[in-house]
Amino acid sequence: MPKPSAAPAPAAAPAPAAAPAPAAKRIPLGMKFILGGAAGMGATCIVQPLDLVKTRMQISGVGGAAKEYKNSIDCLTKVITNEGPLAIYKGIGAGLLRQATYTTSRLGVYTYLNDFYKVKFNEKPTLLVYLAMGVVAGACGAFIGTPFEVALIRMTADGRLPVERRRNYKNVANALSRIVKEEGVTTLWRGCMPTMSRAMVVNMAQLASYSQAKSMFKKYEMKEGLRLHFVAAMMSGFITTIASMHVDIAKTRVQNMTYIDGKPEYKGAIDVMGRIARQEGILALWKGFTPTYCRLGPHTVLVLVFLEKLNKLYFKHVLGTSSGSGL
């Protein structure tokens, strides 16, 4: 008698669907701007004396006049001797307000675009994309920050003028109000185009080279942390200084120029660079390279390192995660 066939085994229950991965926590857009500004202001408090030396060096020898300073050390020594030790922080209010507008805008825009690209395309930006994001961020920040840039340049340069020609602004608010009253509101945006051009070059070089340097060093197993941020930022600062110096000196002279018999000293940034090359030599377009790099290098390091740390702190203490990253 044949054995009854075994009952078919019950079908296996379908495996439960995997729970969707939680969305990565991100810093809100408004907070990106705030953290960027805070990083810039913190760095400015440290490097303001170098910014003053850079400005004095760049306007030294204007119009073929004899050079006032032999080098950066001579400039710093003369400022302290002739104007007092606190003079090295002249214009700090304008510098901080510039960072609160310019750096807040440029770093906020850049980090937003960086995050947007990574989410949209699920990959890290290429070098060309980094460059494009730096240009956009720089243009936005420069336009917003130009009035404070004008005030900063004038306040840091004032001490070198003869007493009867000094503007003697009491503070940044007094500088802005007097510029509007005496020269018109549009003067606040004097040199806006070279300022934007410089910012586009600076940000394209600075932010793109920093992001690219971080990616490159990570391939050599350099871990995320202060050492990586420092090395990448110093490389970024050097590249940025070379790329932007000639535009920076043109911007400085346009913003500090005076009118002679109702006519401006310069027609524009191109006129500045042409006259510098003819009267002072082509290398004068990089006049003040040392204080500029000594200022831009540490400033780049401090801004980007501060920003990385502020981002980390926000991820840890506000968002409750340690997986977030900065630029």
Instruction: Say if residue 80's pLDDT is above 90.
Output: yes
CA 210/CA 130 separation, integer angstroms: 10
Whether 81 and 116 have beta carbons less than 8 Å apart is answered as no
Amino acid at 283: L
Q: Using 50, 70 and 90 to split pLDDT, how confident is the model at 325? A: low
Homologous superfamily of 29-317: Mitochondrial carrier domain (1.50.40.10)
Of 115, 119, 129, 138, whose CA–CA distance to 193 is shortest?
138
The tokens describing 211, both together, are: 């992001």
- Give the tens place of pLDDT for each residue, 279-291: 888 888 877 777 7
pLDDT at res. 185: 94
What is the rounded CA–CA span in Å between residue 232 and residue 300? 10
Residue 85's pLDDT band (boundaries 50, 70, 90)? very high
For residue 180, pLDDT beyond 90:
yes
- Residue 297, CA atoms < 13 Å, CB-side half-sphere: 12
Question: Is 0.75 topped by the overall pTM?
Answer: no
pLDDT in tens, 2-19: 555 555 555 555 555 554
What span, in angstroms and rounded, lies between the C-alpha atoms of 185 and 5?
Answer: 97
DSSP class per residue in 130-149: HHHHHHHHHHHHHHHHHHHH
The helix (H) or strand (E) run that includes residue 263 is: strand 263-264
